[in-house]
Amino acid sequence: MASKTKSVFVCENCGCESPKWLGKCPSCGEWNTMQEEVRVTQPAAAAQKPAKPTAALRSYPLSQIKPDTELRYTTGMEELDRVLGGGIVKGSLVLLSGDPGIGKSTILLQVCRALGSAMDVLYVSGEESYHQIKLRADRLGVTAAGIRLLCETDVQAICDHILQQTPGLVIIDSIQTMNHTDLSSSPGSITQVRESTNLLMRTAKSLSIPIIIVGHVNKDGNIAGPKVLEHIVDAVLYFEGERNLSFRILRAVKNRYGSTNEIGVFEMTDCGLQEVKNPSEALIAGRPKNTPGTCVACVMEGSRPLLAEIQGLVTPTSYGNPRRMSNGFDYNRMAMLIAVLEKRGGYYFNSMDTYINIVGGMKLDEPALDLTIAMALVSSLKDYALRDDVLAFGEIGLAGEIRAVSHCEQRIKEAARLGFSKCIVPKHNLRSISKSMQQTIEIVGVRTIREAFEALVT
C-alpha cells in the first residue's frame, strides 16, 4: 500500500490538534495559532498481522538495578552549577530560555571557556555567523583550544556531525532556528521545534553527550513553541531580569537531576556575565538612609536567604480612581495587602496612588515579603522613616495577623551577617529560634501590623 498524506492543524501555543482549521484554539483559547502540518502515514503492515506477544521485552526488579554514578561536569561557574544541581549531567538535555538580549549566548560561550580546555565542545549557532561569534569570544577572552564552531540550521546534518565528532558537550543556539528538512513547516513552528528537539534528545541519550539548547520566549514570557518542549528535556533553566538592569537571575523551572528552588545571580558587565557571590550585599547596596518608604526583606530562594530592598511610594491621587502599581511583586497580592492595611490596620489608602518597587529588578513572590511590603507602604503613607538597621518579614493574613514563615533562623542569620541589628519576625516563630541567635541580634516577635510598625520605628 502506498503512503498517504494527511493535513492536520496544530496550535502553535499548546500543541492541540484538529482536522480542520479553527480561528480559536479549543484547548488554550488563543486566536490565530492553528498552523497546517502535512503528515505522511505509512501503511500499517504490522497492524494487519495477528497480535503476538513481543518476546524481547524484559522488566527488572527495582532492587536489582545498580545506581549509575551520575557523572557531572562543572561549568566553572558556581552559580550555574548550583542551579543545575551540581554541574551538567552526562547525556542530559538542558533547555536555557529567556528574553532576547538577556545573555543566553554569552553565558554559554563562557561555559565553553571553562569546559573547552578539558574536552571538545561543539557550539552550533543558527543565529550568528562565525565572524560574529569570534568577535564575541575575543571580547569574553574565550580562547580554549577544544571549542569548535558550526553555523548550521539543518538539525539532521548537525546530529550526523555530532555522531562523527563525538564532542564532550554540544550547545545549540537556538532551537527556533533549527530546521528538519523532512518537514514542510517553517523553522520555529511547533512541529519543527518538537521534532528537532526529539532528534537532539535521541543523539544526547545514545552517545551520552550533554546538549544545551537555547529556547526563545514569546511576548508573554513563555518558552516559544509547545509545552511539549519542556516535557522532552531534562532541565529547563530560565534567565530573567530586566534587560536594562545589570542583575540577571538564573532559575531552574524543571530539573530531573536537582532541586528547582535554587537560583544563580549574575551581573552583566563589559566583559561578560560575572557571578554575584554575595547577592544580598549587592542588592541592598546604595540604600537611601533615613528615608520614608523603604524596608528590607529577607526571602528564601531555594536554600539560600536573600536580602532585598522594598520601596513603597504613596502619593495623593489626582484622578478619581487611585492608581496601584507593582514592580516585581504580584499586583493582586499588593491589592489584598492594601485592603488588609485599611480594614485591620487603620491605614487608609483610598485617595492615594500606591507604588511598590523591588530594587534591582528582582521578581519575588514569597509570602514572607508581605510584612515588608506593608511596612514600606505604611512608612511612605505616614512619611515617617523606618530604622535603617531593622529588617522585617512575615506573612500577613486577611485578619491582619502576622503568620509564621519557614527558615526563620536562616533569614535572621543572613540579616546579622550583613550588619542589621534588629529583626522583626512573626511572634509564632520566636519559639524556634535558638538562644545563641537571640544573643547575636535583637529579635522582636510581632502579632499585628501596628505592633510591627511600632517596632520598626523605635
Nearer to ligand TYD, 105 or 177 (CB): 105
139 binds, among ligand TYD, Mg ion, none (CB under 5 to 8 A by kind): ligand TYD
Helix (H, G, I), strand (E, B) or coil at 159: helix
**105 touching Mg ion, by CB under 5 A:** yes
CB-CB contact of 299 with 364 (8 Å): yes
Tallying the residues shown for the chain, one arrives at: 458
Q: Which residues pair with 445 in a beta bridge?
A: 425
Q: Rounded distance, CA 423 to CA 298, Å? A: 10
Residue type (1 letter), 254: K
Task: For the segment 191-230, give every residue that binds Mg ion (CB under 5 A).
Answer: none
Which one of the spans 25-33, 102-110, 314-322, 407-415 is the region binding Mg ion (CB under 5 A)?
102-110
**Are 328 and 319 contacting, i.e. CB atoms less than 8 angstroms apart?**
no
Q: Give strand pairing partners of 125.
A: 151, 173
233 burial via Cβ count (<10 Å: 0-12, 13-18, 19+): buried
Closest approach of ligand TYD to the CB of residue 268, in Å = 5
What minimum distance in Å lies between the beta carbon of 100 and ligand TYD? 5
**Minimum Å distance from CB 108 to ligand TYD?**
8
Binding partner at 136 among ligand TYD, Mg ion, none, C-beta below 5 to 8 Å by kind: ligand TYD
Binding footprint of ligand TYD on the chain (CB under 6 A)? 98, 100-106, 136, 139-140, 268, 270-272
**Distance of closest approach, residue 246 Cβ to ligand TYD, in angstroms:** 8
Nearest to 110 by CA among 212, 244, 178, 210: 212
> How buried is residue 220: exposed, middle or buried, by Cβ count under 10 Å (0-12/13-18/19+)?
exposed
Q: Between 91 and 272, name the residue whose CB sits nearer to ligand TYD.
A: 272
**Choosing among Mg ion, ligand TYD, none, which partner's interface includes residue 231 (Cβ < 5 to 8 Å by kind)?**
none
How many other CB atoms sit within 10 Å of the CB of residue 4?
A: 10
Of 105 and 326, CB closest to Mg ion: 105
Separation between Cα atoms, residue 441 and residue 142, nearest integer Å: 46
Beta strands 17-18 and 72-73 are unpaired
Residue 279 Cβ, how far from ligand TYD at the closest point, in Å? 19
Nearer to Mg ion, 105 or 380 (CB): 105
Least distance from ligand TYD to the Cβ atom of residue 102, Å: 5
Tell me the β-bridge partners of 147.
Answer: 121
Closer by beta carbon to ligand TYD, 210 or else 215: 215
The secondary structure of residue 415, as a DSSP letter, is H
Instruction: Write down the least CB distance from residue 75 to ligand TYD, Å.
Output: 16
CB–CB of 91/204 below 8 Å?
yes
- For the bound state, the minimum distance from the C-beta of residue 127 to Mg ion, rounded and expressed in Å, comes to 6
Q: Candidates 39-47, 105-113, 222-230, 282-290 — which segment interacts with Mg ion by CB under 5 A?
A: 105-113
Which is closer to ligand TYD, CB of 77 or CB of 408?
77
- Parallel, antiparallel, or unpaired: how do β-strands 304-316 and 352-358 relate? antiparallel
Residues 296 and 420: beta-carbon distance below 8 Å: yes
* Residue among 105 and 429 whose Cβ is closer to Mg ion: 105
Nearer to Mg ion, 13 or 105 (CB): 105
Binding residues (CB under 5 A) for Mg ion: these are: 105
